[in-house]
Amino acid sequence: MEKVNINEKLALFSDHWNPRIVGELNGQLVKLVKFQGEFVWHKHEEEDELFYVLKGAFDMQFRDKTVRLQEGEFLIVPRGVEHRPVAAEEVAVMLFEPVSTLNTGDAGGERKREELERI
């Protein structure tokens, strides 16, 4: 058992759209990610995702609406729901996702990360 200092972990990287694993529990990964700009439209057929905003703010776009997330807020995206995170400024987010979750879901592409770094 080791405590995790989120700010120290966030200081270890500066790239965007490249989640890092900082913990694991009950088949779920706890990940930290920074992003800015638009991600790809995608969905996860088998997994729900939790996005918790640590620093900054971003919009989670859905085909029928947009949800604005600020620091200290989280959103659970249910499995099978197409979505796209968009951040005008850099945002730091903690993710809770099943181990099987790929960051680009069904979209694949150049931003797909199959093997994530543990920090």
- Please check whether residue 103 lies inside any domain of the structure: no
- Please check whether residue 108 lies inside any domain of the structure: no
Q: pLDDT of 77-89, one tens digit each?
A: 999 999 999 999 9
CA 56 to chain centre: 14
Q: Three-state DSSP class for 98?
A: strand
Is 0.85 surpassed by the pTM of this model? Answer: yes
Give the Cα separation of 21 and 27 in Å (integer): 13
- Please check whether residue 111 lies inside any domain of the structure: no
Q: pLDDT of 30-78, one tens digit each?
A: 999 999 999 999 998 999 999 999 999 999 999 999 999 999 999 999 9
Tokens of 45: 């057929």
- Please check whether residue 42 lies inside any domain of the structure: yes
- Please check whether residue 105 lies inside any domain of the structure: no
Give the Cα separation of 116 and 60 in Å (integer): 23
- Please check whether residue 12 lies inside any domain of the structure: yes
User: What DSSP character marks residue 118?
Assistant: B
- Please check whether residue 71 lies inside any domain of the structure: yes
Are the C-beta atoms of residues 24 and 81 closer than 8 Å to each other? no
Question: Looking at the 3D structure of the chain, how many domains does it have?
Answer: 1
- CATH of residue 67: 2.60.120.10
Domain that holds residue 43: 6-98
- Please check whether residue 56 lies inside any domain of the structure: yes
